[in-house]
Structure 1
Amino acid sequence: MSTEVANESGYEVDEAEFSALASYVLEQMHVHPQAELSIMFVTSDVMTELHVKWMDEPGPTDVLSFPMDELRPGRPGEEPVEGMLGDIVLCPEVAASQAKAAGHSTAEELLLLTTHGILHLLGYDHAEPEEEKEMFALQRRLLLTFLAGR
């Protein structure tokens, strides 16, 4: 997996940890080993601009996903499709606020949001209750098994 991590947020993040998480999730989802992913941490001002431009929603959000080649999860025994998965943009400032409300660290919230963003890139959504149940259960399982192996 080729994962590029860039931090323009001013928050301290362990870029290697996010790269390792992305590799783990993509491997578990049977994505081609040469798939490319970009993870970027930005300020709330930058996230606000992106949120308004792409979602027509005011203010910053926690994570945005921008799929490229619309890759989908593979299945064991199938040959996965190679390509550019896309970009995930995270806002640590929003994540810090959410983490405080949830009672865990900003780093844990950012790992959760990264997993969430990757699943969006792979076509998962949570607009409908059944979709939300499936996506959030998968997100939780992936993150917990990643953390358990660290």
Structure 2
Amino acid sequence: MSVEVTNETAWQIDGKIFSDLGVWVMSQMRVSTQSDLTIMFVDPDPIAQLHMRWMNLEGPTDVMSFPMDELRPGDGGTEMEGVLGDIVLCPWVAAQQALAAGHSTMEEMMLLTIHGILHLLGYDHVTPEQERQMFGLQRQLLLTFFALRQGAGARATLPAGTPDALAEWDREHAAGGKTAK
């Protein structure tokens, strides 16, 4: 499995943790070891542009998934092979959500990574039943990953003095602090 992690933000993020998480989740979902995944961290403006282009929704969002070969989880006897796709995350939105949820930005970004992978595998949360299934699975995967990596303790941080890109985006677009979900 190949998981490429790119960080185009000022956030200091350990890409290896996200690569390891991607490989582990894909293996748990029985995606072939020959499959590829890209995880990209971007600022509010690029994700807002993607959000408008692909979802016709204004403003930055937390995570977007772009499937390539429309792989689905393996059934235990077979593993699905191909290019899983791309996940684009915005650490600024993740930080805001983490604060509201009472956990770290890193935990939120890891949750969003799993969420994005599940979307790439065809999971969705349009109906209440789909939401229960997808959110339950992402929680189970995240907690199991944490249990297996005790003491990892990695953090996502910003260098001192880094301007708040999400607040800047809001000011520039007169969104009044609203971000899309």
Residues 105-120 of structure 1: matches in 2 within 5 Å?
Answer: 105-120=104-119
Q: How big is the alpha-carbon RMSD for the aligned residues of Structure 1 and Structure 2?
A: 0.6
> Deviation digits for residues 36-57 of structure 1, max 9, x if unmatched?
0000000001111111111100
Residue type at the aligned position of 2:88: V
SS in 1 for 2:92: helix
- Structure 2 residue ranges without an equivalent (≥5): 150-181
Number of aligned residues? 149
Residue type at the aligned position of 2:14: D
Equivalent in the alignment of 2:16: 16
Equivalent in the alignment of 2:139: 140
Equivalent in the alignment of 1:125: 124
By how many angstroms is 1:75 displaced? 1.6
Residues 78-93 of structure 1: matches in 2 within 5 Å?
Answer: 78=78, 80-93=79-92
Mapped partners of 1:34, 1:82: distance in 2? 6
Equivalent in the alignment of 1:31: 31
- Structure 1 residue ranges without an equivalent (≥5): none
Larger-Rg structure: 2
Mapped partners of 1:129, 1:28: distance in 2? 24
Equivalent in the alignment of 1:45: 45
SS in 2 for 1:13: coil
By how many angstroms is 1:77 displaced? 2.0
By how many angstroms is 1:125 displaced? 0.1
By how many angstroms is 1:10 displaced? 1.2
Large movers: runs of 4+ above 3 Å: none
> Deviation digits for residues 95-150 of structure 1, max 9, x if unmatched?
00000000111000000000000000000000000000000000000010001000
Mapped partners of 1:112, 1:82: distance in 2? 24
Mapped partners of 1:115, 1:95: distance in 2? 13
Equivalent in the alignment of 1:77: 77
Equivalent in the alignment of 2:101: 102
